Amino acid sequence: MGKKHIFNAGPCLLPQVAIDNTIEALKDFKGTGVSLLSISHRTKGWDETMDECRALWKELLCIPEGYEVVFLGGGASLQFLMAAMNFLENKAGYLETGVWAKKALKEAKGLGNAFAVASSADKNYSYIPKGYEIPADLDYFHITTNNTIYGTEIRKDIDSPVPLIADMSSDILSRPVDVSKYELIYAGAQKNAGPAGVAVAIVKTDALGKVSRYLPTMLDYRTHIDKLSMFNTPPVVSIFVMNETLKWLKGIGGVSAINAINVRKAETLYAEIDRNSLFTGTAAKEDRSIMNICFVMAPGKEDLQDEFLKFAVERDMVGIKGHRSVGGFRASTYNACTQEDVEALVAVMQEFEKIRG
């Protein structure tokens, strides 16, 4: 069996050093003689892990004063509701760029006046809307920066005349971000930041406490800020792996360094998609994601889809099948995916073209 090249959309490939260090902690957490799986979150040394993880987030994303980092359960899907509960008072606008943006909007609609300012649904979310105007009377404007299913991405921080909230689940830590432009950034960990089981929220603290509705204790960001993300038992294993992943990222040069690596990976694969006679990209070129690279068989070659998937799997490509709602193929090139992995996929595509092109 050869080396597996993992392109899963999430949970995704993690740095090997993070996996190895977690294995050791599963045997013995920091010399306590107790497995990470069995420790209490009140165990001596656990608060140090939590503090280090928060500090790494702040360092890696250059988070300014006035913001706090909290670790939460429920993934980004719970954040769809939690964000709206904490920030929606009168009216909120959403940029509808895919399934996850649409789901976030649905949760907000359940609480009040929320609507799509612009949408790319007319072309199956294959592009990022442009030329729209953000109403000045919104409580906030919500964007989903990367769309995993369709392979589109907002790769620059937008200027918003109203408070800006972003779901960055699938591209956080992949590129520099000006956090000061946002009231709230949230993300499920399982793309670039760790395993499933924990989400991170980066919250501007003075923006909280301004809604008139009752906020359930667990859905109030202030609860988790005040209790340092330990109001209830935190997902210790997931946070430990996250911390190890952030240490790895810092060690290789941080977010700017990984962004350069990610851009090169994406350029390599997109160049092959554009060159190869058997494949074609699905996202508008100006909006292509560097995290989720989506493609299909070229017109007239659709009958080769299943054959290529089998061909690729036999050559140790893992997770390249497209989302069930759109079909085709998707290579998720998150931070831990290497240039070697991408070049291996390119070689498989070239080999298949020689045989079937």
- Active site (catalytic) residues: 100, 167, 191
The answer to whether 36 touches 29, Cβ cutoff 8 Å, is yes
**Tokens at 75, concatenated:** 């993934």
Q: Other C-beta atoms within 10 Å of 115: how many? A: 14
Rounded CA separation 273/297 (Å): 10
**Tokens at 78, concatenated:** 């719970």
Residue 99 to residues 96, 209, 285: CA-CA distances in angstroms?
Answer: 8, 29, 20
Q: Other C-beta atoms within 10 Å of 65: how many? A: 7
Rounded CA separation 142/238 (Å): 27
Residue 303 to residues 23, 184, 278, 297, 318: CA-CA distances in angstroms?
Answer: 44, 45, 11, 8, 21
Rounded CA separation 5/53 (Å): 28
> Which of 145, 96, 81 has its CA nearest to residue 290?
145
Beta-carbon contacts of residue 64 (< 8 Å; ≥ 6 apart): 179, 180
Rounded CA separation 244/289 (Å): 26
The answer to whether 244 touches 17, Cβ cutoff 8 Å, is yes
